[in-house]
């Protein structure tokens, strides 16, 4: 990469670090940076809330997504922090061969209906963490979100042979 004369690679790294440290704009009805009369979708508010809680977002098939488009559901992924591979070459290729994240549940929501919210849980071990998440969702969005155990077994994110699929 060719840099202008007054910049070095350290400046670019520092600039990237500063950009990542910038706080994301908080989504609210009154101060969202949009012109008056333009509606800020509920899915963007839910997206920001879930990302702040540390979840990786997925679509309803369990595939990671950036969630830039309006939607009515988010899959909730948590990274698999189990023991690293015992093979040194797998540690080297960890960037490409990564353990799939745990797909703990899917949150369905509807902006128009009060009863249109539902949390589906995948795996009995994931009930307790999602109960606390649902309690905070109930407080933050003034909703009553029911919880349904959809599978007694845990699921993992959708991937092919250990390779992460590209984000949508």
Instruction: Tell me the per-residue pLDDT of 20-31, one tens digit each, with 9 for 90 and over.
Output: 555 655 544 445
pLDDT tops 60 at residue 11: no
Instruction: Tell me the per-residue pLDDT of 70-90, one tens digit each, with 9 for 90 and over.
Output: 888 999 998 876 655 566 666
DSSP string, the chain: ----TT--HHHHHHHHHHHHHSPPPPP-SS-SSPPTTPPPPHHHHHHHHHHHTTPEEE-TTS-B----S--SEEEEEE----PPPSSHHHHHTTTTB-PPPEEEEEEE--SS-TT--EEEEESGGGHHHHHHHHHHHHHHHT----EEEEESS-EE---BTTBPPPP-
pLDDT reported for residue 148: 94
Residues in the chain: 168
pTM for this predicted structure: 0.68
pLDDT reported for residue 120: 94
């Amino acid at each position: 990469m060719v840099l202008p004369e007054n910049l070095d690679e350290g400046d670019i790294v520092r600039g990237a670090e500063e950009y990542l440290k910038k706080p994301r704009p908080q989504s609210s009805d009154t101060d969202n940076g949009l012109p008056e009369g333009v509606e800020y979708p509920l899915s963007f508010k839910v997206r920001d809330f879930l990302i702040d809680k540390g979840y990786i977002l997925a679509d309803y098939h369990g595939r990671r997504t950036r969630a830039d488009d309006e939607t009515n559901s988010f899959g909730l992924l948590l990274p698999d922090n189990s023991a690293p591979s015992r093979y040194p070459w797998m540690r080297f290729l960890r960037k490409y061969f990564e353990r799939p994240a745990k797909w703990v549940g899917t949150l369905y929501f509807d902006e128009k209906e009060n009863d249109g919210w539902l949390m589906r849980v995948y795996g009995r071990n994931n009930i307790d963490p999602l109960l606390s998440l649902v309690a905070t969702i109930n407080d933050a969005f003034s909703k009553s979100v029911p919880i349904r155990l959809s599978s007694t077994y845990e699921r993992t994110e959708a991937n092919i042979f250990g390779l992460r699929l590209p984000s949508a």
